[in-house]
Amino acid sequence: MSNRGLHSPSGCALCGTTPIRHTTDRIFLTLQSMTVQDTKQNRNLFSKIKHSLQAGHKHSRSFSALDSLQASRQHPPNGSQLISKFPVYNPYGINNRHSYSVQLASPSLDGTTDSPVMLPYPIDSPRDHVPQPFQNEIEDLDQMYEIVGSGSFLGSGGSSTIRKLQRRTDKKLAALKVFNVFKDEAPGSYYRRVAHEYIITKSLAHVHVITVYELVRLPPILSRNWGMVMEYYPHDLYNILRQPHWQAISLGEKLCYFKQLVFGLYHLHLHDIVHLDLKPGNILLEHGVLKITDFGCGDYGHVRPGRFESGVRMCDKILGTPPFQSPEVTMLRNAKGHYDPFKADCWSLGMMLFSIVKGRVPFKEAQRLDKDYADYEHESRWYKDLNPSFVHNDANKVPNRGPLAHELPHGQLTRLFWRLCDPVPATRMTMKEVFASDYFQKIAMCFKEVTHGDGVSILDETGTVIESSGLGVVAEVHDVHLAIGCRIEKHLHDI
């Protein structure tokens, strides 16, 4: 689906107007198609879901109105100082506009679709589509979890719906990502797509990556699809950045968020995974700990997964969200081509740095039709021509001309942003160069980081364990350890 229109609140998946009655009618029709025994077993569950849908419907309408009000208060017109606002996101990556070549069903307020597409019976077991190391102990959601009665609906987008769950045994909360079926998508394609995202996410066990528990079949009364059970987090970075008190938070704490993000992305690249949709809406937080989520665009970065010597697997799909989407990705809208996915992630990282420090984005899209980006691209090209050592990470070269040369509070921050968001991928800063940066090394940590040893074990999509030499490719071990070593004893702002 195209990424156009992302900046309009009207594009939010929570702003539809489909009545809740239509949803319950569809569920009644589903019940009628079941056997009498199935109906009796699911009657109690249906009652809970109907209640939660109604609660979610009311919540969504109030959220939409509140969101618009807060946006107008927090981003008042301010002349040239206001470059652009954030687009509207939802937590868990549910409002992504991934570049799939098929149309999506139109989402309604309750998390269903106007024309729902369902998998045909019998629904395959996830165990049949993932290798043994990724298989669950359970196959069906209701073996271990139940829908939280009130307020279970967390949000909806074209590709998925998020609901709140609780584990039956200890009542621990979890999040359920229900994967929608695209129009004209064959069951086999659906199973492969969902299994691919699950395998990638499951293989990335790390403090800054969301934890996935199971891939399960869902009860027919809920959705004739698959769902992924994962950690529940109440906050995403996008909504935190929009809070009025964000500007009052110290630069040190903001940079600690950024440094956590760098370590999270470093872990991905270390395990040969590219994200390709880094943005505030795909970062979850609780008690100051940052978690990267939504690997719907994610993929292996090399031709042979985990084998860094096999060459980078170039990408030719339009993935991600402007302006966190790099210019070489944006150009694919008008011409065929391909790009290095690791370099695309580095662009997104630079945009995240600006967003975290300033609480907004510098421009709407990385294309020349956007005047703010065109001005920045011109100044970047001019400065690099005048100072060739800038692209070789000369710390003494700090951009000093153009609006984006004076936005950030420190010259070395400006240099880091300009290097990561170099419009030319060939000269863009790499992760290895980020860790080698003296300024980055000195950013004080407020969270204890740990790393693996020199050997890195990677599970590829077949479940095969690969001993990779990727550590030195992503960053020098010495530089990584130095970046960890600079800490301060301080608590992050309590969210």
- Please give the Cα distance from 19 to 229 (Å, whole number): 28
Greatest mean pLDDT among 36-45, 198-207, 347-356 lies in: 347-356
Q: Give yes or no for a cis peptide into 122 (omega within 30° of 0).
A: yes
Q: Please report, as a single letter, which amino acid is at residue 72.
A: S
The residues facing 212 across adjacent strands are: 230
Q: Are 329 and 339 in contact (CB under 8 A)?
A: yes
Query: pLDDT grade, residue 115 (50/70/90)?
Result: low
Mean pLDDT value of segment 237-257: 92
Closest of 313, 350, 329 to residue 430, by C-alpha: 350
Task: For residue 170, give the 3-state DSSP assignment.
Answer: coil
Strands 226-230 and 212-217: antiparallel
Please indicate whether residue 471 or residue 141 has the higher confidence score (pLDDT). 141
Cβ neighbours, 10 Å, residue 226? 26
Greatest mean pLDDT among 73-82, 280-289, 463-472 lies in: 280-289
Q: Are 339 and 326 in contact (CB under 8 A)?
A: yes
Return the C-alpha torsion angle 39, 128, 316, 205, nearest 10: 90
Mean pLDDT value of segment 143-147: 91
List Cα–Cα distances, 311 to 246, 264, 303, 396, 486, in angstroms: 42, 23, 6, 33, 34
Task: For residue 448, give the 3-state DSSP assignment.
Answer: coil
Cβ neighbours, 10 Å, residue 82? 11
- Please give the Cα distance from 111 to 348 (Å, whole number): 29
pLDDT of residue 462: 81
Within 8 A by CB and 6+ apart from 346, the residues are: 420, 428, 429, 430, 431, 434
Closest of 293, 267, 298, 266 to residue 279, by C-alpha: 293
- Please give the Cα distance from 409 to 405 (Å, whole number): 10
- What pTM does this model have? 0.77
Would you tell me which CATH number, out of the four given (1.10.510.10, 1.50.10.20, 3.40.47.10, 3.30.70.1400), belongs to the domain 235-485?
Answer: 1.10.510.10
Closest of 159, 224, 150 to residue 187, by C-alpha: 224
Domain ranges of the chain: 9-230, 235-485
Percentage of the residues of the chain whose pLDDT score is greater than 70: 73
Tell me how many helices (H) and strands (E) the chain has.
Answer: 13, 13
pLDDT of residue 168: 92
pLDDT of residue 147: 86
* CATH assignment, 9-230: 3.30.200.20
Residue-wise pLDDT for 6-49, tens only, equals: 333 333 332 333 333 343 344 333 334 444 444 444 455 445 44
User: Over the range 424-457, which residues count as b (16 or more CB within 10 Å of their CB) and which as e?
Assistant: ebeebbbbbbbbbbeebbebebbbebebeeeebe
